Structure 1
Amino acid sequence: MIQLHDKHFEAFISEKELDYAIQNLAKQIEDDFYDEVPIFVGILNGSFMFLSDLMKYYSQPCEVEFVKLSSYEGIQSTNNVKQLIGLNQDLEGRSVIIVEDIVDTGNTVEELKHIFKEKGVKHFKIATLFFKPEAYTKDIKLDYVGIHIPNKFIVGFGLDYDGLGRNLKEVYQLATQNTKNEMINIVLFGKPGAGKGTQAEFLKDKYNLVHLSTGDIFRFNIKNDTELGQLAKSYMDKGDLVPDEVTIKMLQDEVEKNPNAKGFLFDGFPRTIAQADALDAFLKTKSWEVTATVALEADDEILVQRLLERGKTSGRADDQDEEKIRNRYQEYNEKTAPLIDYYKAQDKFHSVDGIGSIAEVTERLSTVLDSL
Structure 2
Amino acid sequence: MKDGYEIAVVHGDGIGPEVCGAAIEVLNAALDPGVLRFAEYPAGAGHFLATGESLPEATVQACGAADAILHGAAGLPGAVHPDGTEAGVDFSLKLRFGLDLYANIRPIRLYEGVESALAGIAPGGIDYVILRENSEGLYAARGAGSLLRGDVAVDTLVQTREGIERIVRKAFELARLSDGAPEDGVRRVTCCDKANVLRSYAFFRAVFDRIATEFPDIEAEHAIVDAMSMYLVQRPGHYNVIVTENMFGDILSDLAAATIGGLGMAPSAEVGESNGLFQPSHGSAPDIAGQGIANPYGMVLSAASMLDWLGHRHDDARLLDAAARIRRATEEALASGCLTTDLKGSATTRAVTDILCRALAA
Question: TM-score scaled to structure 1, two decimals?
Answer: 0.25
Structure with more strand by fraction: 1
Q: Which structure has the bigger radius of gyration? A: 1
Ranked by relative contact order (alpha carbons within 8 Å, sequence separation 6 or more), the top structure is 2
